[in-house]
Amino acid sequence: MKFRTPASTNLEAAECLPERVGTLRVANRNVVQNLQKVEHEEMTTKAPLVVIVGGGFGGLAAAKGLKRSPVDVLLIDRSNHHVFQPLLYQVATSVLAPGQIASPLRSLLAEQANTTVMLGNVTGVDAASKQVIVDADDKVGIRISYDYLILATGATHSYFGHDEFAAFAPGLKSLSDAESLRNHLLEAFEKAEIEDDPDRRKALMTFVMVGAGPTGVEMASAIAVMTQTTFRKDFRRIDPKSAHIVLADMASRPLGTFSEKLSEAARRRLMSLGIDVRLGKAVQSIDADGVILGEERIQAKTVVWTAGVAPSPAGKWLGCTVDRAGRVRIQPDLTVPDHPEIFVVGDTASLDHDGRPLPGVAQVAMQQGKYAAKSIFRKVVGHPPLPPFRYFDKGNLAVVGKGFAVLQSAGVQLSGFTAWLVWALIHIQFLSENSLRFSVLLQWAWTYLSGKRGARLIIRQRSGS
């Protein structure tokens, strides 16, 4: 059955139609205006993006410092892990495995909802347009815009104008460096075991460290301890204790950043370990068969470069003032002149502290990274700026073989076993995860008591794989 609508009702509806159409038009216009307002508010309230280049001590400290800030964070690094560089020499000398001193960056920052990690190689910075240029996988020249930029790009080896040395004297800055050096050291003893020629055997068992700073001292003493304890009963045709370990530096004393008293204590300890300490002579040449130190040629199949570092090319990227070493000259608030949105921290930065340049050590990078994070937070929320950066020097430490270290902090100078315990506790504390702290502590205890090492493995990738 079909119902009909009364004619009077139709007339009333027709009369009301223009009014209803006008009301709909007004409502639609209000909806559009409200949507535009919401979009504008979303654009204006969007969290600023902080791009951090480098996942070392400075970059990781900055990222963690921004955890509760109203910003988005993008951390870019060529490696997927953060490595505790002060213990790289223990990977190279088989005390620790690589996984005991490194952690994936994604794991370390997994609980930070505002932080993203990107595996990529930053090749430049366009400061004028506020963009970093990144190569990632097969994508070249990706441009990523930023509101704030923290450059924590670290340092690499410096051969002081003799880059030809690099092929014969590798440095120690990454896990791959440490693993490669570990393979080389272990292979040297294996080759010496089967070598009949006495001169070649002697060269295989000669190890030269170029540079008597903390890395050189720690590396030389670690090799000495390894030959006298771990390798003591392992070989039949060679005596590992007869290895010739040379520590060379053109300076007049080892550990030049320490006091003369501690430097002398370290020198005596090195000599007691059988290390040949050569000071006051420059390296003239390095090749596949050894080094020329002063006017003397030392036949050696192992040369390790522990003499110096060079900063990343950040200064070239920014086109700003750099110091003689190529580090970016920054202002007291850690920013680049004329670019208050760009911070440079760690080994890449050059800043004077009480009239002297800050040292390129982990503590400086960590404190600067935290400062940069706090400064960005204050900028974003509109708080007054921080006072100029001040470095709190917690002191210097260097280990010189089993059970011996030197410590210099706030007027306190120690050498020997007590200093070694302090060194061990501090290094355990600054590892990035509790699991690593526990693992390293157990391994150190076992190695100290037994002389056994945890990672005496020669691992090489198969050709063609």
Closest by alpha carbon to 303, among 190, 194, 235, 216?
A: 216
Please provide residue 296's backbone torsions phi and psi, each rounded to the nearest 5 degrees: -105, 135
Q: Are 74 and 52 in contact (CB under 8 A)?
A: yes
Q: Is 218 a catalytic residue?
A: yes
Q: Which of 218, 264, 296, 341 is catalytic?
A: 218
Say how many Å lie between the first and final Cα of the chain, rounded: 83
CA angle 369, 375, 376 (to 5 degrees): 95
Q: Are 367 and 391 in contact (CB under 8 A)?
A: yes
- Residues serving a catalytic function are 218
